[in-house]
Structure 1
Amino acid sequence: MTSHRGHQAFRLGLFLLPSSALLSGICLFVACVSGSRGRDCPVWQDRWTQPFLVASLLMLLGSLGAETGSLAWAGLGNWLPFFWAFWAFRPHLASELQRRQAAWMLVAGTLPVLLTGLGQMFLGWEGPWQLGGGAIIWFVAPGGEPQGRLSGLFDYANIAGAWLGVVWPLMLAAVLRPDRWWRRGAALVLTLSTVFAVLLTQSRNAMGSLALAVPFVLGPMQWFWLLPLLLLLASPLFLVVLPGVPPGWRQLAMAVVPEPILERLLERGGPTAWKHTRLGQWGYALELVAARPWLGWGAAAFSVLYPIYAAKRWHGHSHNLPLELAISHGLPVMLLIVGTVLLLLVVALRRGILQKAPMERAWWTATLVLVAMHATDLPFFDSRLNILGWTLLAGLAAFNQEVGETPEPRPDRDGPEAAPEPGAP
C-alpha cells in the first residue's frame, strides 16, 4: 500500500534532487519501495514498462560479450534501476494534484542552482561547501565551468543549462496558474532569473528550450500570434547558422548576437575541426552501429573507440541518445526505449494534455524539452538529470492511465491526500 510517508519522501527527494544526489536518492528509494507495494498490476504486466523489461534482458545479454568488458556492466546502472523507478514512481504521480505538487518541488529545489550560479559569476563564490558532515557537498567553480559559463551546482555548464531548460516550463506554468499574488510573484522572479542564468550557461540546447517551451505551455490558443513573434526573435540565430544566407545579412545578424553565444554557434576551428563537431561524431557513430547492430559494443564503447580510430581527442559520448543506445546495446534496445518514450509523448498529446491546466501542459513540455536535448547531447549521464527525466516520463504514463486507460486503484484514495487541503498549491 502506498503510504503517506512514501508520498512525502518522493516530494522531498525531488526538492533535494539538484542539491544532493545522495540525499535525494535515499528519499526516492524509499518512495520506490512504497510505490512498489500493494500494486494490483505487477511490473511485468504493465504495458508501459514491458518494453523496458525486454530492453533490460537484451542489455544483460549484450553485456556478456561486450567489447568494453566491465564498463558494459557498470553502464547498466544508467538504465536498469530507472526502469524500476519509472514504474514505482507512478503511484506518487497518479493525479493532477500529485503532479502539480511534484512540479512545485522541482521549481523550489532549483533555487540553490540559481543562487550558486549567479554567485559564482558575479560574486566570485567558490566551493567546495559541505553540509551535514559531507552529506551535501557543493563544488562551485569560481567563474563557472568551463570558465565564463554558469555551472552552479553542476559539473559543467551544459548540464546546468539542461536542468534549467527542463524546469523552465514548470516555472512558466506556475506564473500562469491562477494563485495567490505572492506565489505568482515568486514564480515570476524565478522564471526571469532562470532565463538570465540560461543565457549565462551559453548552452545552445538550453537557449533553444526557452523558445521551444513557450508555445506549448501557453497553449494552442495563443499560437496565432506567438509563433511569428518567436520566429522573428530567433531570426538572427537562423541567419548566423543556416547555409546560403547572403553575406550582408549574416554580418548584420552576427552584430546582434552576443560574442560568447556566437562562438558557441559557429564552433570555429582549423581545417579538421569538423571531426570534433556533432556531425563528425555522428558519422563515426553510424559506422559503429553498422558493425554491430544487434547487441552493440557495450556501454562506453564510443568513448573508448572514438579517440583511437576517429580523432585524436576524447569524447565521453556520441552526443545523440538513439546513437549512443544503438552503439552500446544494439538497435533493438534503441527502438524499444526511444519508441516507448516517443509513444508516451504522442499518446498524451492525443489525449488532450495541451488542453489541460497549465502545469499539465508544462509537464508534457518539460518532457519534450529533455527529449529534444538528447538529440544533440546526453545530459542523462548526470544522475540528477536522469532521475528528473524518468520522473517526467512516469508522470506522463500516469496521465495516460488516468485519462485514457483503466487506472490502477490508488491505495491513497482514502488517505491523507484524498482531497487537496485549503490553500494547497
Structure 2
Amino acid sequence: MTASPLGWRCFQLGLFLLPSTALLGALFLFPALLIGSVGRERAFWRDPWNLPLIVAGVLMAFGCFLADAQGLAWVGLGNWLPFFWGFWGFQPYVISAAARRRCSLWLVAGTVPVLITGLGQLWWGWAGPWELLGGLIVWFVEPGGKPEGRLSGLFDYANIASAWLALVWPLALAALVQPGLQRRQRLVVLVLAIAMVVGLVLTESRNGWGALVLAVPVVLGPPSWPWLVPLLALALLPVVVSVLPGMPAFLQDPARQVVPDALWARLNDSQYAGERVLASTRISQWTVGLQLILERPWFGWGAAAFSIIYPLRTGQWHGHAHNLPLELAISHGLPVATLVVGLVLALMVVSLRRGLSGLFDRAWWAALLILLVLHGTDLPFFDSRLNIAGWILLAGLRASFSPDRSDQPTTALAADV
C-alpha cells in the first residue's frame, strides 16, 4: 500500500487547512481520498475490519425507510457513510510511523490560526464575521468568545474548540519532547505547546482540562510512570479536595485557597446552582435517550430524531443526546451502535496490545482516546473538522497493524520527510 506523491501532498495540505476551514481542508482531502482508493491491492470489502462498517451502512440505509422524518434521516447519513469510505481510503497516507508523525505535525501547525483567533477574541476583542473567497467561507468570530468569556476561536462554540485543542494536545506534546530537535525548533514548539495549554484552559471546558492531564502519561509512556503518576496525583489532590462533595471544611477551605476560584467553581458547577432544570441536564437526556432506544431498538428513529422528540417530552430543546453510543442507537438502532462502537474499541485494544513503541504512535493513540472520552458526554463529531480528524486517526490505527504496513516511509513520503 503506497501513497502516490500527488495524493500525499494533497493530504498534507488538507490536514494543515482543516482546523481553519473544513471546506478548504476537504477540497484537498477529497482528491487525496480518491487517489488513495485507486489501485489498491485489496478491495474495500475484502478487509475484515471494514465488514462492520459495511453492515452498519446497510442497516442505516434500511432504517431511513422506516424513519418518521425520512428527509432528515437520509441527510444524516452524511455524518457516517462518507467517513466509512475515508477510514479505508486514507490508510495509504498513514501506513508508516514516519507518515503518522508527519501528519501529526501538520495538525499541530494547522491549529495555530485557531489559537491566534481565540486569544485575539478574548484579549483584544477581535470580532468577525471574516470572509474569504467572496463569502464562500465565513468565520463568525465572537468578541469575548462564545459563550461570553470562553475561547472559541474559529469554531462555533467553546466546547468544540476545546475538543479540537484536546485532540491535538498529545500530538503537540510529542512534538515537544521528541529527540533530535535543535534549540530554536524546540523553543518554537514550546511556545506553541504553552499556547495550546492556555487555549484549553480558556475554553473553560472540563473535558478539555481533563484531556490536558490524561494525555501526559500516555504520551510519555510507561518508563515515566513511576515518577509522573505520583507527581500528577499530588498536583491534582488540592483540586479534588476543593470540589468533592462532603469534604470537611477544614480540608476544603484551604484547598480552595490554593485552587483558582474559576477552576473549582467550574468543576463543581456552583455557578449553575439553583438555575438548571432537570430537563437540561445530561441525566435527563440520557434517560430519555434510553427510553427511545427501548421503543425502537432495531433501526432507531432516524438521524436528528432526538432534537425533535426530546422537546416534545420534556419542554427543553437539545440537539443531541450528549453521548455517541446513545445517539447512534437512537438514530440508527442498537445493532448499528454495537458495530460502530465495537469496531472503534477493537481498534484501540488491538493496537495497544500490539505495542505503541514510538512516541508519535502513543500520541496518536492518546488523541483518539481523548476523542472517545469526549464523546461520552458530548458530540463534537457533529463539527465536520473533528469528524474528519477522528476518522483519519482511526485509519492510522488500522494502518499501524495492516499486513500492508511498513516501518519505513512510503515511496511518496521518502523524499518529503
Higher relative contact order (CA 8 A, sep 6+): 2
- Asked if structure 2 preserves the Cα contact closer than 8 Å seen for 1:325 and 1:333, the reply is yes
- Inter-CA distance 130–255: structure 2 relative to 1 (3 Å threshold): same
Report the equivalent of 1:407. 404
Structure 1 residue 26, shift from structure 2 partner: 1.1
1:15-414 to 2 correspondence within 5 Å? 15-178=16-179, 179-267=181-269, 268-270=272-274, 273-310=277-314, 312-353=315-356, 356-401=357-402, 406-407=403-404, 413=410
Relative to structure 2, which stretch is displaced further, 87-96 or 283-292?
Answer: 283-292
- Inter-CA distance 261–303: structure 2 relative to 1 (3 Å threshold): farther
Relative to structure 2, which stretch is displaced further, 281-290 or 126-135?
Answer: 126-135
Q: 1:183, 1:339 → 2: CA distance?
A: 40
Relative to structure 2, which stretch is displaced further, 255-264 or 172-181?
Answer: 255-264
Q: Give the alignment's TM-score, normalised by structure 2.
A: 0.94
Structure 1 residue 257, shift from structure 2 partner: 3.7
- Inter-CA distance 385–416: structure 2 relative to 1 (3 Å threshold): closer
Q: 1:313, 1:141 → 2: CA distance?
A: 25
Q: 1:279, 1:253 → 2: CA distance?
A: 29
Q: Which ranges of structure 2 fall in alignment gaps of 5 or more residues?
A: none
Q: 1:374, 1:291 → 2: CA distance?
A: 23
Q: Which amino acid aligns with 2:298?
A: W
Say which SS state the counterpart of residue 137 (structure 1) adopts: strand
- Asked if structure 1 preserves the Cα contact closer than 8 Å seen for 2:166 and 2:200, the reply is yes
Q: 1:6, 1:174 → 2: CA distance?
A: 24
- RMSD, matched Cα: 1.9
CA-to-partner distance for each residue in 1:226-258, whole Å, 9 max, x for gaps? 112212222233334444433443344444443
Structure 1 stretches of 4+ moved >4 Å: none
- Aligned-residue sequence identity (percent) comes to 54
- Inter-CA distance 224–306: structure 2 relative to 1 (3 Å threshold): same
1:8-19 to 2 correspondence within 5 Å? 8-19=9-20
Q: Which amino acid aligns with 1:49?
A: N
- Asked if structure 2 preserves the Cα contact closer than 8 Å seen for 1:55 and 1:337, the reply is yes
CA-to-partner distance for each residue in 1:124-173, whole Å, 9 max, x for gaps? 10111223333443221100001100000000000000000110000000
Q: Which amino acid aligns with 2:71?
A: S
- Inter-CA distance 378–138: structure 2 relative to 1 (3 Å threshold): same
- Asked if structure 1 preserves the Cα contact closer than 8 Å seen for 2:279 and 2:316, the reply is no
Q: Give the alignment's TM-score, normalised by structure 1.
A: 0.92
CA-to-partner distance for each residue in 1:323-363, whole Å, 9 max, x for gaps? 1111111111111011110111111110111xx22111100
CA-to-partner distance for each residue in 1:289-338, whole Å, 9 max, x for gaps? 1111111111112111111102x221111111011111111111111011
Q: 1:348, 1:409 → 2: CA distance?
A: 15
- Asked if structure 2 preserves the Cα contact closer than 8 Å seen for 1:41 and 1:408, the reply is no
Say which SS state the counterpart of residue 130 (structure 1) adopts: strand
- Inter-CA distance 340–241: structure 2 relative to 1 (3 Å threshold): farther
How many residues are matched? 412
- Asked if structure 1 preserves the Cα contact closer than 8 Å seen for 2:96 and 2:406, the reply is no
- Asked if structure 2 preserves the Cα contact closer than 8 Å seen for 1:40 and 1:409, the reply is no
- Inter-CA distance 416–317: structure 2 relative to 1 (3 Å threshold): closer
Say which SS state the counterpart of residue 138 (structure 2) adopts: strand
Structure 1 residue 274, shift from structure 2 partner: 3.4
CA-to-partner distance for each residue in 1:60-108, whole Å, 9 max, x for gaps? 1111111333111111110000000110000011111111111111000
Q: Which amino acid aligns with 2:324?
A: L
Say which SS state the counterpart of residue 48 (structure 2) adopts: coil
Q: Which amino acid aligns with 1:282?
A: W
- Inter-CA distance 264–273: structure 2 relative to 1 (3 Å threshold): farther
Q: 1:385, 1:365 → 2: CA distance?
A: 15
Q: 2:286, 2:258 → 1: CA distance?
A: 31
Q: 2:297, 2:9 → 1: CA distance?
A: 44
- Asked if structure 2 preserves the Cα contact closer than 8 Å seen for 1:22 and 1:135, the reply is no
- Inter-CA distance 271–164: structure 2 relative to 1 (3 Å threshold): closer
Q: 1:389, 1:62 → 2: CA distance?
A: 25
